[in-house]
Structure 1
Amino acid sequence: MTQATRRARVERWGSTIVAGLVTLPVAGCGEASSIPCDNPQPVVIDGVDTGFETCDDGGWTHRPAAVECAITAPRPDFQCSAALGCQTDDDCADTPFGHCVNDDFGDGCFCASGCATDADCSAGFICICGGVTGSCVRSSCTDDASCGDALLCASYVTDPGCGGLAFQCQSPDDECASDADCGESAQCSSDGTKKLCRPIDCAIGRPFVVDGEERLADAETREDWAATDLQPRLEGLDRDTRAKLAAYWTDIGRMEHASIAAFARFALQLLSLGAPPELVSRTQSAMVDETRHARFAFALASAYAGEALGPGALAMDRALSDASLESVLATVITEGCVGETVAAMEAKEALERVEDPALRFVLREITRDESEHAVLAWRSVAWLLEAHGPRAAAVVRESLGALRASLACGPVPAASAEDERLLARGYVGASVRAELRRHAIDRVIAPALEAMLDGDPAPTSVDGGRRTLV
């Protein structure tokens, strides 16, 4: 199956509006930091120093100083190339640093927000320059000086294989400086305190995010987490393929297991914010769904591995440390609007290819449930926007900026013949997963968030046909 075929499928699932990109050059698209910065080169856009430098020939980026971004909006000569959406920057005057963005696929235009300085972003974000305006991205440091001890405020990828630009201070314990230190199957990321190589992958289901990092339990030998009535076909599989499938479904099980915790936390957060009973009830049901998904995945993993597998203990420290509106809303966008929407599309993609009855049953269940979980996330965002107005809208705009920055990373590599072969066994490889995620953000998630900021209702479906609104 080609990338074009998958792209067309995502577009059937999604909307017609594409997100604009922040064009900070290659640096930051999956790189992290360690002393020193070799061959530093200032990032200059249209003759203006952005305050950033690239290191190791563009391998990663750090921020010597915070500077004000050059803002070129409103542009007197800009005209949308299509009839849909905004036509000029003046149509976006009600949006902070608003400017009209052309859809790269020619479907229309929409109003995008931005920033000029860090003060235009919420706490925990900095403004990176590029394009018509800057864009707010997550950062635990403001510049190199804020890190002290000759350390740098440096970029890393938040989700290896999926993108996601963020910054944090270097640590003497950093295990990598850039992707070049990690080999072909990993990227230099962060565990919240230090840089380290993490496998290229994207979580299926709702990730359990603590301090900006996904948290999973280790797998261990145990029998109680595997559904006992599920047996995939094993004939024709060599030892290496079985091992690869066992590892894959073990990881899926760990991710689904972590999703239980994510929904448990979300239920508490909803209660703390005074949410309506429908959202709380749907969240409780989602916990049951994810428990079932985890048992399915560990049953498949156990069958392929030839031994009983299940999850160990899942660390909960700091999981409830921040229950502010800003934190809850940013998390539900990351975990739900992105994580669950992409998970539904991944499961649907695999379901299109597999013939094994056991795998088809599991993928059909996951596709249906994850689609419902995504709708729950979208409805939660809609309620928070309605209940908290401009305060919530600011968080949504910053999340949009971070999503667009993640799209600025280079092109997704084409799926290999091995990826396509394993897809028929339900295995969604890193390149296929990254491709689906990128197109989902581009064609479904960012447009839906933009529409909600404009007052449109939340999506009621992320699967089949065009994006449907309440």
Structure 2
Amino acid sequence: MRKASSIHRGFLVPSFAPLRASIWAALGLSVSACGGHVTVDPASGEGGGEGGVTTSSTGTPAPSFVCDGAVPLPQRSGAYSGYARCPDGTIHRVEAVACESSLPACQGIEDVISCKTDADCTEKPGGKCGSYPSTDFNGTAWHCGCVYACATDQDCDPGQACLCPGVVLPDRLHARCVSAGCLASDDCASGECGLSVYDDGCGFELDLVCRAPGDACRTDADCGSGYEACVAPYDRLEWACSPPGCFDGRPLLVEGRARTARRVARSDWAFASLTPETAGLRGDVRAALAAHWREIAAVEHASIASFARFSLELLALGAPPALLAGAQQAAMDEVAHARAAYTLASAYAGAALGPGPLDMTGVAPATSAAAIVAALVEEACVGETISAAQARALAGLVRDPALAGTYERIAEEEGRHAELGWRALAWLLGGAGDDLRATAASAFDRAVARLSADPEVAPGAVAPEHGLLSGAMLGALRRQALAEVVEPCRRALLG
């Protein structure tokens, strides 16, 4: 049995076999039904090539841009990227140009080694094995891993574009494919094919979406709240203000957007008995912890409403009492999770924080089995399974007993929520036709693809002993949980 995979000095990815076993038991499955172990490459999706990976050629700036005063943006190599920044800070793709990616060859002395030659990189065409850095609490660690860099849009899937390194997130060394509703200025009636850069709390979501005069916002300053961003993520085709909110667990989604309440100054959501250690924390670590727990608190608070809506959906479908009781209990669990998260956020911020009113406009139960199944797969069977796994790993990693206890409680209860989701899915698919099962399969594909890549974590302190993980660490945890829990049990249910 594979016990753990090292992705960084002092950090191990645990086995999630106990979580899988609890879901098997909830489903009434035997070990052989879901069985098997999958070895996860913790540096999947990163790396470089032997002798350096270089793709494509330089471009030349276009003679005109999308706004007065626009500045063409270079790639890391200095070549024109095809993007321009307007004076208001918005970034637009003017045209498609070839991207250049260059990474050094592996030296064999990196901190993490997951490939030896290009022949080991077979997940996608053109894989290269190379060396790349990853910054964490102990400084910069080096990885030797696989990278699958694109050079042009043709190297990406339909509906994607190749984003050159250097346009945003300057620490990235190779070009990668991003979601694209437009490919150039000419594709948009406004002449603006905007680049949305959304920090959703789990990482950065990058999307190309046309700007339009009727958009709800143009820049973050239009959002007014101080913590929302003007973005158009997750294939959304319009720009609007969105708060940060990691899609692990069960978010309150309204028309595809995660909705949360604004934070306000209040103390009635705090647990007096929960007192994390704050003395001696570095300023950047404390600030990062405050932001981290504010985001978790907002999502957990909104999850109360999400489970209330799920209860109504179960009632509409004639669900058995055990599922309804589980949904009600899960909502109560989320009240406790939100209180714990607001308590921690307040302690690290040095100010009492709690939720303001939650906008319930448009929050209505789904009326079709297909819509309920799709949401159930993405939010519960995948999202809450990943949340339970991450919390379990963090409970064994953090050194503050208050944090460890909080993560242990969240892991146990999110595990029950995951079990509830899998049981509800099994009940909905019992005797269902091919169309509903295909809906579930597509939802699994979307959720697994979204959570398989290393997330782009927000800049700031990375402190594993306080629960602040790097993108590589989070990515490895998620891939392990997907491989050991989600994928095998998906096959057991869907065949």
What TM-score results when the alignment is normalised by the length of structure 2? 0.59
Match of 1:362 among 401, 406, 417: 406
Q: Which has the higher contact order (CA 8 A, sep 6+)?
A: 1
**1:164 Cα deviation from its structure 2 partner:** 8.1
Indicate the residue corresponding to 1:286 in structure 2.
Answer: 330
Indicate the residue corresponding to 1:16 in structure 2.
Answer: 37
Q: Call closer, same or farther: CA 1:55–1:13 in 2, change over 3 Å.
A: same
Q: Deviations over 1:272-331 (max 9, x none)?
A: 111111000010001111101111111222222222110111222222163311111111
AA aligned to 1:401 is D
Q: Call closer, same or farther: CA 1:229–1:159 in 2, change over 3 Å.
A: closer
CA distance in 2: counterparts of 1:195 and 1:266, whole angstroms? 28
Q: Call closer, same or farther: CA 1:296–1:160 in 2, change over 3 Å.
A: closer
Tell me whether 1:394 sits opposite 2:438 in the alignment. yes
**1:371 Cα deviation from its structure 2 partner:** 0.5
Indicate the residue corresponding to 1:258 in structure 2.
Answer: 302
CA distance in 2: counterparts of 1:401 and 1:37, whole angstroms? 31
Contact 1:326 1:392 in 2 (8 A): yes
Indicate the residue corresponding to 2:369 in structure 1.
Answer: 325
Contact 1:62 1:152 in 2 (8 A): no
Question: Which structure 2 segments of 5+ residues have no match?
Answer: 21-35, 45-82, 84-89, 99-151, 165-175, 220-228
Report which stretch shifted further, 221-230 or 231-240. 231-240
CA distance in 2: counterparts of 1:293 and 1:429, whole angstroms? 23
Contact 2:246 2:295 in 1 (8 A): no
CA distance in 2: counterparts of 1:2 and 1:263, whole angstroms? 36
In the alignment of these two chains, the number of paired residues is 351
Report which stretch shifted further, 53-62 or 241-250. 53-62
Contact 1:158 1:165 in 2 (8 A): no
Contact 2:381 2:486 in 1 (8 A): yes
Q: Call closer, same or farther: CA 1:417–1:290 in 2, change over 3 Å.
A: closer
Indicate the residue corresponding to 2:427 in structure 1.
Answer: 383
Indicate the residue corresponding to 1:38 in structure 2.
Answer: 95
Q: Call closer, same or farther: CA 1:148–1:12 in 2, change over 3 Å.
A: farther
**1:230 Cα deviation from its structure 2 partner:** 1.7
Indicate the residue corresponding to 1:190 in structure 2.
Answer: 233
Indicate the residue corresponding to 2:79 in structure 1.
Answer: none
AA aligned to 2:450 is S
Indicate the residue corresponding to 2:466 in structure 1.
Answer: 425
Match of 1:54 among 151, 161, 164: 161
Indicate the residue corresponding to 1:136 in structure 2.
Answer: none
Contact 1:54 1:62 in 2 (8 A): yes
**1:234 Cα deviation from its structure 2 partner:** 2.5
Q: Deviations over 1:116-141 (max 9, x none)?
A: xxxxxxxxxxxxxxxxxxxxxxxxxx
Q: State which structure, 1 or 2, has the greater radius of gyration over its C-alpha atoms.
A: 2
Indicate the residue corresponding to 1:300 in structure 2.
Answer: 344
Indicate the residue corresponding to 2:47 in structure 1.
Answer: none
CA distance in 2: counterparts of 1:334 and 1:299, whole angstroms? 28
Contact 2:198 2:206 in 1 (8 A): yes
Q: Call closer, same or farther: CA 1:365–1:12 in 2, change over 3 Å.
A: closer
Q: Call closer, same or farther: CA 1:414–1:435 in 2, change over 3 Å.
A: farther
CA distance in 2: counterparts of 1:403 and 1:278, whole angstroms? 26
**1:424 Cα deviation from its structure 2 partner:** 2.0
Indicate the residue corresponding to 1:235 in structure 2.
Answer: 279
Contact 1:355 1:424 in 2 (8 A): yes
**1:377 Cα deviation from its structure 2 partner:** 0.5
Report which stretch shifted further, 54-63 or 262-271. 54-63
Indicate the residue corresponding to 2:487 in structure 1.
Answer: 446
AA aligned to 1:3 is I
**1:403 Cα deviation from its structure 2 partner:** 3.3
Contact 1:10 1:440 in 2 (8 A): yes
**1:358 Cα deviation from its structure 2 partner:** 2.2
CA distance in 2: counterparts of 1:443 and 1:163, whole angstroms? 25
SS of the residue 1:190 aligns to: coil
Tell me whether 1:3 sits opposite 2:7 in the alignment. yes
Contact 1:217 1:311 in 2 (8 A): yes
Indicate the residue corresponding to 1:202 in structure 2.
Answer: 246
Contact 2:285 2:461 in 1 (8 A): no
CA distance in 2: counterparts of 1:436 and 1:286, whole angstroms? 24
Match of 1:343 among 367, 373, 387: 387
Question: Which structure 1 segments of 5+ residues have no match?
Answer: 22-30, 66-143, 177-185, 455-470
Indicate the residue corresponding to 1:371 in structure 2.
Answer: 415
Alignment of 1:102-251 (within 5 A): 161=202, 171-172=212-213, 173=215, 189-190=232-233, 192=236, 194-195=238-239, 202-251=246-295
Contact 2:315 2:324 in 1 (8 A): yes
Indicate the residue corresponding to 2:131 in structure 1.
Answer: none
CA distance in 2: counterparts of 1:432 and 1:197, whole angstroms? 29
**1:243 Cα deviation from its structure 2 partner:** 2.7
AA aligned to 1:383 is W
CA distance in 2: counterparts of 1:245 and 1:212, whole angstroms? 27
What TM-score results when the alignment is normalised by the length of structure 1? 0.62
SS of the residue 2:351 aligns to: coil
SS of the residue 1:3 aligns to: strand
Q: Call closer, same or farther: CA 1:397–1:426 in 2, change over 3 Å.
A: same
Q: Call closer, same or farther: CA 1:359–1:316 in 2, change over 3 Å.
A: same
**1:39 Cα deviation from its structure 2 partner:** 1.6
Percentage of pairs with the same residue: 34
Contact 1:155 1:166 in 2 (8 A): yes
Contact 1:207 1:255 in 2 (8 A): yes
CA distance in 2: counterparts of 1:35 and 1:414, whole angstroms? 23
CA distance in 2: counterparts of 1:428 and 1:187, whole angstroms? 26
AA aligned to 1:395 is T
SS of the residue 2:276 aligns to: coil
Q: CA RMSD in A?
A: 4.3
Q: Call closer, same or farther: CA 1:56–1:187 in 2, change over 3 Å.
A: farther
Q: Call closer, same or farther: CA 1:50–1:206 in 2, change over 3 Å.
A: closer
AA aligned to 2:233 is S
AA aligned to 1:190 is P
